[in-house]
Chains A and B, each alone.
Chain A
């Protein structure tokens, strides 16, 4: 028997998902396999597609606010932030300083919650059960804090055009400070449990290396890009809100493997804590919402606003036509571009490594499918 015939006979297709535990939602990956090696992984999207863009184009712009939280439900506040900032830029609404500070504090808290959830879920993918319990324990504190001001635990709709829905009180500030103190104490636990764990390192080091050129060709952003050593963060690169007023660093990795992506996210938690601390120290007084027209008219012309969500660059692109309903609303979500490199990245690797790569990308499926 010829070798090519032998290989042909040993190839088979394997459906990973849409209910596979390591895809964190309804993502199907059709794998062409040879033994335990993956030859061609092809993601199949659209299982939870809801056509958010059409909804954005068929109602006046305030009506789209709740939708923004239902794309990336794990880190919804930056999605709120991008949309309100887009309309504010388009219409020319000034935002009070205190409101911007509150936006930054709550967005960063949400980012930490997202990274903690990812940390637990990723380790669960790799076969470690315990870290998710610690991660969820810490995340619960953030959800409680955010619930006290936003009224919801996951799908927030807290920001408004020209400000936020309601002011934060002393209790919120106190609880946030207590949380910062608590989380810093927990670092050592995570370090002992995960970062220095030899099994974890073996499963992630030198696995799924994303080169800078590959990142550029696919438009990869966020921690997945920074793991490859490129210090690109919309908060620094294209500053918005009051981020330029804070002192924080952009953690980067070295070679872009799964371990680098893990380390970048873990170090980002500390940077987010630093931003929150500075914002609480310098929180200005004043109103949290400016007067805006009841009937917001979007003038003709297009407008773009990019923010840094927990998974990378989130871009809203809007075309106005003089009415209050957007003529066209495009949402560029980070996970969509991030995952699109999988067919190239996952060629010729072992199946368990594919699980490790998928987890390290921090995918949120409702965000990709929109």
Chain B
């Protein structure tokens, strides 16, 4: 199993992607890849060639990084891929540039078509090259309403919602016990 994981990781690094191995027991996936917006299509093509299927495309909203000039729209897009033949799941994340545009992968993975429309509905990310970027789950009248964008006060920076290096054992440190319902 370990050999296979290293294989994929090495392959992606050779292709010029920033790939990090992750703990499946703790996080639910084996590989994390951080992409530039212009790498998204190349990554999807590589994943398709290797035989991964697309699990989902989703977005999330963070406080824009002031130091970063190009990628500070505050929107992030997450792609998850997995395999039919063995246990392997990977997550790729890309920051959306200022113009809120990110390349569409719906011609490589046709299943991304609806996921990207949904992400546009909820966050207002514009998928460049998408054949039909109309509202899917929300109504046509609400094309400019993006319900999952957070208020300014509730926004957190990407660093605040990322894993820290030490193992999180929040539950055990809590002195009070009881049952949740």
Contacts and interface: CB of A to CB of B under 8 A. Distances in A.
Are A and B bound to each other? yes
Interface of A: 45-46, 49, 51, 53-54, 57, 62, 86, 89, 91-93, 160-162, 215-220, 225, 230, 232, 237-238, 289, 291-306, 313, 315, 317, 319-322, 327-328, 330, 332, 336-337, 340-341, 344, 369-370
A53 B148 contact: yes
A241 B137 CA distance: 33
B53 A303 contact: no
A370 B170 contact: no
B161 A321 contact: yes
Contact of A216 (B51, B87, B91, B148): B51
Contacts of A317: 56, 58, 78, 80
B177 A294 contact: yes
Nearest to B28: A304
B100 interface: no
Given A46-B136, A317-B58, A289 B179 contact: yes
Given A57-B148, A89-B26, A304-B80, A320 B55 contact: no
Contact of A292 (B136, B156, B180): B180
B111 interface: yes
A303 B174 CA distance: 21
Contacts of A296: 171, 180
A203 B74 CA distance: 51
Given A54-B147, A297-B170, A300-B161, A89 B180 contact: no
Nearest to B110: A217
B110 A218 contact: yes
Contacts of B180: 62, 160-162, 292-294, 296
Given A46-B136, A304-B80, A330-B56, A319 B174 contact: no
Contacts of A315: 55-56, 80
Interface of B is mostly: loop
Contact of B114 (A62, A313, A340): A340
A232 B82 CA distance: 11
A348 to B, nearest CB: 17
A337 B116 CA distance: 12
Contacts of A330: 56, 58, 78
B55 to A, nearest CB: 6
22 contacts: A46-B136, A54-B148, A91-B171, A92-B169, A160-B181, A293-B171, A293-B174, A293-B177, A295-B176, A297-B171, A299-B164, A300-B162, A302-B163, A306-B82, A313-B82, A320-B161, A327-B161, A328-B60, A332-B80, A337-B54, A340-B114, A341-B110
A294 B176 contact: yes
Given A62-B180, A62-B181, 12 more contacts: A45-B136, A89-B25, A92-B172, A160-B180, A237-B86, A298-B170, A300-B168, A301-B161, A315-B55, A317-B78, A337-B54, A337-B114
Nearest to B177: A291
B89 A304 contact: yes
Contacts of A319: 60, 161
Residue from B84, B135, B169 with most neighbouring chain A CB atoms (10 Å) = B84
A219 B137 contact: no
A225 B84 contact: yes
Nearest to B135: A46
The size bracket of the interface on B is 35 or more
A297 B169 CA distance: 10
B122 interface: yes
Given A295-B174, A296-B171, A319-B60, A217 B87 contact: no
A238 B148 contact: no
Contact of B53 (A62, A215, A238): A215
A185 B179 CA distance: 42
A225 B51 CA distance: 15
A87 B118 CA distance: 25
Interface in B23-80: 25-29, 48, 51, 53-56, 58, 60, 78, 80
A303 B60 contact: no
B109 interface: yes
A305 B180 CA distance: 20
A219 B171 contact: no
B138 interface: yes
Residue from B135, B170, B181 with most neighbouring chain A CB atoms (10 Å) = B170
Contacts of A53: 122, 148
B45 to A, nearest CB: 12
A123 to B, nearest CB: 29
Contacts of B84: 216, 225, 230, 232, 237
B55 A292 contact: no
B28 A219 contact: no
Given A293-B177, A300-B160, A317-B80, A306 B171 contact: no
Contacts of B168: 92, 299-301
A321 B78 CA distance: 17
Nearest to A294: B178
A46 B122 CA distance: 13
B66 to A, nearest CB: 19
B129 to A, nearest CB: 16
